[in-house]
Amino acid sequence: MLEEIKQELDRKFDIIVYEDTENNFTAGCRNWGDWEFPEDESCDDGEDEDCDYEELTSESYNELRDFMKNLQNHYPDFSIDFYTGEKNYIDFDIARKA
């Protein structure tokens, strides 16, 4: 079943990283969806920040959340989580439930 989940992710996202074991895997993609700078962040504060932190737009986040919810419903024996990070990365953690 892990291979089926990987195929589902590959169809939706351009997965660039996989790390897996017998019962779980992590995966990552970059630059999927639309991203924007958070409203409360500013790159004009004079600090030596490289201003590379963006968040998914609400539309892209909702699409991602709905896709992952459907995937979870289709594979209830697995815990399926996602996280967004710097440089427009999305990480996925998939593990077989005990």
What's residue 82's pLDDT?
Answer: 97
Examine residue 25 and state whether it is found in any structural domain, yes or no.
yes
Give the tokens for residue 95.
């593990």
Whether 43 is in a domain gets the answer no
Domain membership of residue 46 (yes or no) is no
Domains contained in the chain, number: 1
User: pTM for this structure?
Assistant: 0.84
47 lies in a domain?
no
Q: What is the mean pLDDT of residues 16-45?
A: 85
β-sheet bridge partners, residue 15: 29
Domain carrying residue 25: 2-37+53-96
DSSP three-state, residue 51: coil
Q: What is the pLDDT of residues 2-22, one digit of tens each?
A: 889 999 999 999 898 788 888
Least confident interval from 24-33, 46-55, 75-84: 46-55
More confident residue, 93 or 45: 93
pLDDT tens, position by position, 75-85:
999 999 999 99
